[in-house]
Each structure stands twice: as structure tokens, then as C-alpha cells.
Amino acid sequence: MSFGFGILRRASHSQRPNSNKKQSLPSLFFSIFPRSFSQLHSQSQTQLPSFGIAFDIDGVVLRDHTPIGGSPQALRKLYDHNSGTLKIPYVFLTNGGGFRESKRAMQLSELLGVNISPSQVLQGHSPFKQLVNRYENELVVAVGKGEPAAVMFEYGFKNVLSIDEYASYFDDIDPLAQYKEWITKTVANQSRTFKEIGSRKSVHSERVQAAFIVSDSVDWSRDIQVLCDILRSGGLPGKEIGHQPPLYFAHDDLKYQATFPSERLGMGAFRIALESIFNRIHFNALDYTSFGKPNAFVFKNAETVLKQLASSLDHEVHVVNHPDDGSHFKTLYMIGDNPSVDIKGARQAGHPWFSILTRTGVFKGKENPSDFPADLVVDTVEEAVDYILRKERTS
């Protein structure tokens, strides 16, 4: 699928006056199999779920690496008690990231005690895959915690460097580096990982064609400095002013719930810092694109993935009764902890989304928040799943 990048631009053009900126089954099928069709039809009404669930991760099922809100028990209810196979289609819809979907699925499986496949993990940076055609062999820089370059490499970007490694090619680019004792180790590790790629690089003459903020920046001062260098110079730090290369953020969350009692500053806060500084030192305002929730296409994509997952639960039944028109879900539940991200997004996406807000993360209030009210407010994710299963059994 393709994404409508045009609607995602956030750079304010008012701040930059100088910027112009079904397939039906063949009737033959029914004539050959009239009896089996009617059997499948009645079978499907009891077997094919008419609903699916999207879980946010941070502040809903996990706090850092600790399960919260009865999440392991809640998820187990979506599997068959005896066989352990998946009954209810669900995905994780998170703005977080920094690791490949396959690795994240493995981590989640271990932490939550259920078998989660990579296709069930939709991260903030997952849509970056859609940009591979444009940048496949171009030099791009990947920023953030975890393994940002490995993520991009798995998506198909063949000429990607983490900002750690990229910065290491430029002597003195970070005047504070000598005070950051952790850097040497990090770069040494990443250099080993990308030794082959790095050895054929000529980063001092090759322009960076795009920068991707894959996950939360670990070293704001260095990353803001190096990004400003790249973006102001047209992709060659230390050189003259040039046209700003495209800049992509995996999401724009201002804050998120981690282990500390109050919320932590997220990628949206980093974006504000970078944008504020860039706009003070450059004549054109920063131009960028943000992905992630609450953008409507994220929910549309989750619906597509849930539909594929539902069909894989009982492929034959699905094909007969539900041509590929995206219409078979009566309800899709978004369970999140952040009103301005999860709830706003589900509300904007409209039918068939139903929003459930938990009190285990960013939102801790008693009353439904007035700015982005959810369809339902509960204490925990387990309460949310119990509500869904009760409602779906009786409807």
C-alpha cells in the first residue's frame, strides 16, 4: 500500500513565508460447491471474529520491560485454552521502536508469555518501509536508541548509517564527545555490525539524502548538532549552506510513560527542540514529515493487517464469505493510555474503531478527558479485554 505523505507534513508553512511549500469469487465456485458453501456460511458465523484489537504497548501492556495491568492474563484470553492457537485477531500498535519487528515480537512473546508473530507488531517506524524505493541505494542516516540502522537495513535501505557511526567519521563534530564516556563503546559495537557497509563509504563526499528519526534520540546535544549540520548543508556537514534533505520522524509523541512516576519526554519533544534551534540558525523553517499515531493511515494499515490475520485464522471460511473489501469487521478496538495519541487517532479513524483508555500510563484521571474523550475508560488492559469479550459474546 502507499501512504499519503502529503497530508502528513507538519512544518508550518505560515512560519516560512519564503517557502512554497472485491474481488468476488467466480460464480463457478458456487455452482461446483453449492453444498459446501452453505455449510461454510453457517460455520463462519460462529468462527470468524467480527472484531479485532489493537494494543498500545507502553503504559498499557508494559512499563519499560515489566508487564502491567494484568496484560499476560488479558492476552491469554485471546488464545484457545486447549490448543493455544490464536482465536481473536490482535496487533500491537505502538509509536515506540528502535528494534526490528522480528526482534520486538520475540521480546514481547517472552515478556507476555504468548506467541506473538512479527506481523502483529506495528511500530512507529514500520511505514519507513514504504520509502525504500526512493532511498534504496542512497546514503541515509538513522537516529535513535536500539538498532536504528539495523531496522532500516532490514527494511531494504542498503546505504544506511546510524548517527553514531556517521558522526564518528567527522573529527570534532561533537565538541562534548570527550565528556561522553559511553560513546566509544557504542560506536565500536555498531562499527562491527556495519563494518562491511562502513568500509566502502566515502561519507565526506557523499551527501546524506535523508535523515530518519527511528526511535528516541539517546544524545540530544550531539544529535541536534549533527542533524543541523546535515540539514543546513544539504547533507555534507562542514560544507556551505545547501538545500535541506528530507527529514522523517517515526512519530510525534510529546511524552510517554516509562518506569519513572511522571511522563518522560518523547520524540515529539526532541522534534520541538531540533525545530526551534534549526529555525533560529537557518533562513528556511525546518521541513519534516511525522508518521505514527494519531495519523489516520496508521489505523487504516492496522485494519488491513488485522484483516489478513483474521483470514489466516481460518483462511477458507474467510475467502468464501468475506471478499477483499475491508468491510468484515464490525468493531476494532484501540486500547491505549494516551488521549492525544491513541484516543484521538481512533476517533479520527472513525468506523469501525472503538477507543478504550486505560489508567496505567499517561492518563491517570478519574473522568473521561474532555479534549479527546474515549468510548470507554477502564483501569487496566485486562479490564478492557474482559469488557470486549463480554460485549462480543452477547452481541
Q: Which residues lie near Mg ion (CB under 5 A)?
A: 56, 58-59, 337-338
CB of 210 to Mg ion, least distance (A): 27
- Name the burial class of residue 112, with classes exposed (0-12), middle (13-18) and buried (19+) by CB atoms within 10 angstroms of its CB: buried
User: Grid cell 512544518 — which residue?
Assistant: 11
Among 154, 190, 145, 288, residue whose Cα is nearest residue 230: 288
Name the maximum alpha-carbon separation found in the chain: 77
CA distance 142 to 126: 13
CB of 142 to Mg ion, least distance (A): 23
CA distances from 197 to 210, 212, 349 (A): 17, 18, 41
Under DSSP, is residue 244 helix (H, G, I), strand (E, B) or coil? coil
Q: Give the cell for residue 253.
A: 509523541
CB of 257 to Mg ion, least distance (A): 6
CB of 96 to Mg ion, least distance (A): 8
CA distance 140 to 157: 8
CB of 322 to Mg ion, least distance (A): 31
CB of 103 to Mg ion, least distance (A): 20
The secondary structure element, H or E, covering residue 385 is: helix 381-394
Q: Which residues, listed in sequence order, are joined to residue 58 by a DSSP beta bridge? A: 62
Where do the H-state alpha helices sit in 48-143? 71-76, 101-112, 132-135
Task: Tell me the residue number closest to Mg ion, measured at CB.
Answer: 59
CB of 121 to Mg ion, least distance (A): 15
- Provide the total of helices (H) and of strands (E) in the chain, helices listed first: 15, 15
- Give the nearer residue to Mg ion in terms of CB position, either 59 or 67: 59
- Give the nearer residue to Mg ion in terms of CB position, either 49 or 146: 146
- Give the nearer residue to Mg ion in terms of CB position, either 219 or 383: 383
CB of 338 to Mg ion, least distance (A): 5
CB atoms within 10 A of CB 297: 18
Sign of CA dihedral 343, 346, 347, 352: negative
- Give the nearer residue to Mg ion in terms of CB position, either 56 or 303: 56
- Give the nearer residue to Mg ion in terms of CB position, either 61 or 105: 61
Among 141, 151, 128, residue whose Cα is nearest residue 206: 141
- Give the nearer residue to Mg ion in terms of CB position, either 58 or 216: 58
